[in-house]
Amino acid sequence: MNEEAVLELITRKPELKPAKEKLESMHPGSYCIHQSWGFGQIKEYDEESGKLIIDFEGKEGHRMDPGFCVVTMQVLPPDHLMARKETEPEAIAELVSKNQGNLIVELLKQYPNGAASAVEVESILNQVVGADTFKKWWTATKKILAKDPRIAVPPRKTGMYVLREEPVSIEEELIEEYNETQSAKRRVLIADKLLDTVREKPEIEDKLAVVLHGLTTAVKESNQLSLAEKLRGAWIRNDLAEILEVDIADFEPTLLELVREPDTLDTLVKDLPTTLQTRALELIKESHPADWKEISFNLLKNSSGKFTTDCVNFLLQNGFDKELLETFERWQTEQNLKEPVLLWIVKNRNSRKFGNLVRPMITPRLLNAIFYAIDYEALQISTTRRIPLAEVLSEDTELIPDLLADADSETARDLANNLLLNQGFEELTKKSLLARFIKIFPAVQSLLETGEESKASGLIVSKESYDKAVAEYDDLVTKQIPENSKAIGLARELGDLKENSEYKMAKQDQSLLLARRNKLEMDLQKAKISDFSEIGTEAVGIGSVVTLLDENKNKEITYTILGAWDSDPDKQIISYRTPLGKALLGKTPGDEIELHIEGVDSLLKVVSIERYVDLVAS
């Protein structure tokens, strides 16, 4: 807008007089950011309609009232990064790829006092860099900024990025932050960063005496620090003392004292940063010369993620190759192989480093342990949290064939039966996994066709679950199977069936669909619909709501036992055909049930029995 147009607008709308300067900046060619429309460029001012014409991304020639834009739109100066991206694309691309520190300096110069919030900085950079690559780029750039003396980086996302009047080195900034904080936890973290810095710049050693003193006091006296944080702080304390040539003999507590209590070690190691967990194993060996081996194996038993690999490496380095395999096999026999360790075994079965160790474990017995662990996890969680071991079993198409390589037909049928009863898989996933069984052992198909997985003469089901089964059967017969037949026909037309993946997949789907249809036919024939009203409260039956006392944990839990197809673990509803359901049937108040889970004997006591229909009615 030129001066004449601005004066005319202010004459008509006197309330715009304070915004005269901003209105004058809305001239053709200027770039802008609108609250709703985003980034754009002012193309012209139409004097006849009194409207600005702006090209926004995805909406060109948009007409807007200048008075409205005063509040909702920011006109960018020519040196703004987003404007320069349009006018100097090569220069901005150079900054983005090679001079990230200069890019942030240019950005901060555009703000009053050279300060902008993290949200503002990230919002602008996201548009300058590009949303597709911004996240990875920003992660790398923040590491560069942390060492740039020109820029003060906020410790939290809610803080401000500040362009310093005078550059400050990273070590000066850390020491200043260390002196200002009273938090023992924060001092440990800052001291850790200073430790890395002093190794690169030994000339700052004379500034670290006060840091060492404060850290020594924090580790000894602070109640804010957990045991893992104390240990981390003690390591940093000792490393700083070594650099500063200070005797650590009088430091308290010592490293060995911090790992002296065996009962605390499992939690301690899990709370440590992953980079320190191997160091902790070495320290435990030094602190427990008589029983460090047993402690290390126990830590491995309860380990997960990277620490599992660290434990195995540590034990291998100490010559326990044979003991590792024997221990894995013993845990398998005792049903003590927990999900994270099982996950590590199957993921490393073909690795160059660990393959020879774990390959003897890749047997049908391990698949049974995997099913047990998945089923146990599914029973323990009340949410839809994923089960990593189940995901690997589903996604790794070679895993089941590897595990079944030495199996006989009867073993394969038993394992397929376990899969059918497993509560850790969705039905579609079960179909996919069963197809892998059938490909190796076609006889498993007959298990589905004859329904031998259930020895019962009938199936007690609710009306609701019966109707769902009928609907599924109708969908199979009228829709899914005909569509699959068409897919097989189309796939045949693509040529060579040996190399035809579409045909193989369609035939695999056909086997599953036909197996499911046959099973539903037989199950529906055996189904007996019940409203569960005939059950009493004297003994547990189908339709009972049972309150149990776990006498080991002194905790009560309530299960509802319903029909064969009514399981809903999220609502503590189980089928009478599940192992727990079978164990409860016929029990009366006061009866006890012994369960063996992961090597631990659990004792459940029946506290009370109610009728499901009574609770639903109320």
CATH number of the domain where residue 154 is located: 1.10.10
Q: Does residue 218 carry a pLDDT above 60?
A: yes
Average pLDDT rounded to a whole number, residues 461-481: 91
On whether the CB atoms of residues 134 and 125 are closer than 8 A, the answer is yes
Task: Please answer whether residues 108 and 162 qualify as being in contact, where contact means their C-beta atoms are separated by less than 8 angstroms.
Answer: yes
Name the nearest CA neighbour of 597 among 388, 415, 403, 377.
377
Are 274 and 252 in the same domain?
Answer: no
Q: Is the pLDDT score of 451 beyond 50?
A: no
Per-residue confidence (pLDDT) for residue 32, from 0 to 100: 93
Given a cut of 70, whether residue 533 has pLDDT beyond it is: yes
Q: Which comes out higher in pLDDT, residue 543 or 179?
A: 543
pLDDT band at 426 (very low <50, low <70, confident <90, very high): confident
Query: Using one digit for the tens of pLDDT, what is the confidence trace for 54-76?
Result: 999 888 999 999 988 998 999 99
For 486, the domain range is 454-529
Q: Does residue 613 surpass a pLDDT of 60?
A: yes
In a domain, 293, yes or no: yes
Supply the pLDDT for residue 230. 94
In tens, the pLDDT along 353-365 reads 898 898 899 999 9
Whether residue 476 is found in the same domain as residue 410: no
Mean pLDDT of 441-466: 68
Across residues 598-613, what is the average pLDDT? 82
Return d(Cα 103, Cα 81) in angstroms, integer: 8
Burial-class residue 134 by CB neighbours within 10 Å (0-12, 13-18, 19+).
middle
Residue 524's nearest CA partner among 576, 557, 570, 476 is: 476
pLDDT band at 453 (very low <50, low <70, confident <90, very high): very low
CATH code of residue 556 = 3.10.50.30
pLDDT at 598 over 60: no
Number of separate domains in the chain: 6
Residue 454: pLDDT band (50, 70, 90) is very low
Could you tell me the pLDDT band of residue 452, with boundaries at 50, 70 and 90? very low
User: What is residue 508's DSSP assignment?
Assistant: H
Domain end: 191, 224, 258, which one? Answer: 258
pLDDT of residue 449 exceeding 60, the answer is: no
Cβ-contact 56, 39 below 8 angstroms: yes
Q: What is the per-residue pLDDT across 132-182, written as a single tens digit (0 to 9) for each?
A: 999 999 999 998 998 888 888 887 778 899 998 887 777 777 787 788 888
Q: What is the pLDDT of residue 290?
A: 93
Write the CATH number for 513. Answer: 1.10.287.180
Whether residues 378 and 402 share a domain: the answer is yes
The mean per-residue pLDDT over the stretch 190-212 comes to 81
The highest-confidence range among 502-511, 524-533, 554-563, by mean pLDDT, is 554-563
Considering the domain architecture, whether residues 19 and 110 belong to the same structural domain is answered as no
In a domain, 439, yes or no: no
In 3D space, the residue among 125, 61, 129 whose CA is nearest the CA of residue 94 turns out to be 129
Q: Is residue 433 part of a domain?
A: no
pLDDT at 301 over 50: yes
Q: How far apart are the first and last CA of the chain?
A: 73
pLDDT at residue 447 greater than cutoff 90: no
In a domain, residue 427? The reply is: no
For 506-520, what is the mean pLDDT?
A: 77
Do 191 and 231 lie in one domain? The reply is: yes
Residue 434 lies in a domain: no
Residue 535 included in any domain: no
pLDDT surpasses 80 at 517 = no
Answer yes or no: do 366 and 395 share one domain: yes
The mean pLDDT value for 571-590 works out to 89
pLDDT at site 105? 94
Please tell me whether residues 94 and 136 are part of one structural domain: yes
Predicted local confidence at residue 267, as pLDDT: 93
17 and 29 together in one domain: yes
The residue from 163, 194, 216 where one domain ends is 163
Based on the fold, state whether residues 273 and 410 are members of the same structural domain: yes
- What percent of the chain is modeled with pLDDT above 70? 94
Please identify, among 473, 498, 529, the residue that sits at the C-terminal boundary of a domain. Answer: 529
**Residue 382 and residue 242 share a domain:** no
pLDDT band at residue 381 under the 50/70/90 scheme: low
Mean pLDDT of 320-345: 91
Kindly provide the b/e burial profile for residues 566-590, where b requires at least 16 CB atoms within 10 angstroms of the residue's own CB: bbebeeebbbbbbebbeebeebeee
CA gap 319, 595 in Å, rounded: 37
pLDDT bin (cut points 50, 70, 90) of residue 560 is very high
CA 481/CA 476 separation, integer angstroms: 6
Per-residue confidence at 382, pLDDT binned at 50, 70, 90?
Answer: low
Residues 193 and 324 in one domain: no
Higher per-residue pLDDT: 177 or 548: 548
Buried b (16+ CB within 10 A) or exposed e, 600-618: eeeebbbeebbbbeeeeee
Any domain includes 438: no
Report whether pLDDT(384) > 70: no
* Residue 99 falls inside a structural domain: yes
460/552 same-domain check = no
Q: Check residue 513 and give its pLDDT.
A: 81
